[in-house]
């Protein structure tokens, strides 16, 4: 890792694994490349890389609040802050022993007792794993409730030729229809217009198929029962200053999240969220 703390650009490579690499900026994953150095995450050409504006792309972390319902700014403060590298991390489970990793911590303010450790790991096959551990450190006996999402921007060749498998027949809240609850149809998701849906009680694994690249992203998650699917499409894309007018064609957000049922911790209790991303070749033929 270059750089001493999250303020610098940090490069993560696996010493014995594939030549895949991950870049972090300010503690946020902004780039994940496979062994052929193909970029797998979307980062807008207009993204601003300085707090308090959130980075438009990569994997911003929405914590301690997802969305705008709550007392904080949209999506909470974690994504608007620089994180620092933790050189003396609380031991994470050893199941990451075969991965290169960097440990980060987020302190809401200087000297704050609350610290939230977060590990970014890169496996020998180029798989990317994020683990966050949230503990209630309150000494006044008060519970701590939060909602959370890894707001992952996947890079896709052409949104009109992408399918998402794993969310069929599930209930979802539609952000475009006053968060009303609906039930998804029985086929894989395809995309012809703006979408902003929070799928509820989703499976551990979700697949995102990119027809042109013949590549499937596999998203696996723990501790995160919901999944958000978002593409702003043309009109909203034009309205975002940090997003290119046509960039909606080349991205899709599929976000491992805990939203419908906020996570509530008693003092001393800890929650762990985990996201693992990998890619596999896919034989998806569009129009099937
Ligand atoms: O994840 C979907 C969403 O909640 C959308 O409603 C849209 O607002 C998107 O996040 C981006 O939010 P941002 O605050 O980063 O512009």
DSSP letters spanning the chain? --SSSTTSEEEEE-SSS-S-EEEEETTEEEEEE-TT--B-B-B-TT---STTSPPSBSB-EE-S--SSSSSSSTT-SGGGS--EE-SSPPPPPGGGTTSEEEEEEE-SSTT-S--EEEEEEE-TTS-EEEEEEEE---SSS--EEEEEEE--EEE-S-GGGEEEES-TT-EEEEGGGTTEEEE--SS-B--SS-EEEEE-S--SEEEEEETTTTEEEEEEEES--EEEEEE-HHHHHHH-TTS-TTGGGGEEEEEEEEEEEEEEE-TT-EEEEEEEEEEEE----TT-
Q: pLDDT value at position 186?
A: 94
Instruction: State how far the Cα of 148 lies from the Cα of 275, in Å rounded to an integer.
Output: 12
Ligand 1: nearest atom to the Cα of 175: 6
Question: Over the chain (288 residues), what is each successive 10-residue block's mean pLDDT?
Answer: 54 86 91 95 94 92 92 91 79 64 78 76 93 90 95 98 98 98 97 98 98 96 98 98 98 98 95 96 67
Q: Is 133 in the pocket of ligand 1 (CB under 6 A)?
A: no
User: Global pTM?
Assistant: 0.93
Name the residue at shortest CA distance from atom 4 of ligand 1: 67
Q: Tell me how far the alpha carbon of residue 67 lies from the centroid of ligand 1, in angstroms.
A: 7
Name the residue at shortest CA distance from atom 6 of ligand 1: 196
> 185 among the known binding-site residues?
no
Q: Which of 21, 127, 161, 255 is catalytic?
A: 255
> 16 among the known binding-site residues?
no
> What residue ranges do the domains of the chain occupy?
4-284
Ligand 1: nearest atom to the Cα of 230: 2
Q: pLDDT value at position 114?
A: 66
Q: pLDDT value at position 88?
A: 75
| 255 given a catalytic annotation | yes
Q: Tell me how far the alpha carbon of residue 248 lies from the centroid of ligand 1, in angstroms.
A: 13
Name the residue at shortest CA distance from atom 14 of ligand 1: 74
- To the question of domain 4-284 being in CATH 3.20.20.210, the answer is no
Instruction: State how far the Cα of 86 lies from the Cα of 24, in Å rounded to an integer.
Output: 14
Q: Tell me how far the alpha carbon of residue 148 lies from the centroid of ligand 1, in angstroms.
A: 13
Assembly ipTM: 0.98
> 177 among the known binding-site residues?
no
95 phi, psi to nearest 5 deg: -65, 0
């Amino acid at each position: 890792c270059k750089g001493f703390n999250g303020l610098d650009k940090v490069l993560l490579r696996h010493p014995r694994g594939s030549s895949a690499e991950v870049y972090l900026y300010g503690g946020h994953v902004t780039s994940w490349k496979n062994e052929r150095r193909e970029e797998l995450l979307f980062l807008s050409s207009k993204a601003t890389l300085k707090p308090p504006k959130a980075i438009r792309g990569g994997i911003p972390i929405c914590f301690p609040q997802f969305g705008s319902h709550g007392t904080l700014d949209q999506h909470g403060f974690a994504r608007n802050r620089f994180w620092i590298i933790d050189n003396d991390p609380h031991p994470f489970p050893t199941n990451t022993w075969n991965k290169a990793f960097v440990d980060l911590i987020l302190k809401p303010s200087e000297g704050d007792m609350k610290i939230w450790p977060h590990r970014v790991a890169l496996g020998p096959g180029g798989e990317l794993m994020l683990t966050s551990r949230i503990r209630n450190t309150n000494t006044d006996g008060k519970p701590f409730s939060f909602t959370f999402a890894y707001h992952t921007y996947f890079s896709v060749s052409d949104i009109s030729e992408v399918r998402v498998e794993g969310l069929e027949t599930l209930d979802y809240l539609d952000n475009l229809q006053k968060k009303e609850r609906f039930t998804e149809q029985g086929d894989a998701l395809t995309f012809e217009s703006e979408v902003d849906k929070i799928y509820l009680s989703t499976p551990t694994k979700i697949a995102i198929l990119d027809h042109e690249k013949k590549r499937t992203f596999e998203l696996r998650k723990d501790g995160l029962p919901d999944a958000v699917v978002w593409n702003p499409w043309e009109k909203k894309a034009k309205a975002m200053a940090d997003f290119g007018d046509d960039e909606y064609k080349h991205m899709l957000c599929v976000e491992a999240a805990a939203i419908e049922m906020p996570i509530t911790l008693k003092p001393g209790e800890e929650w762990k969220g985990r996201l693992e991303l990998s890619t596999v070749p896919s034989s998806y033929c569009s129009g099937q």
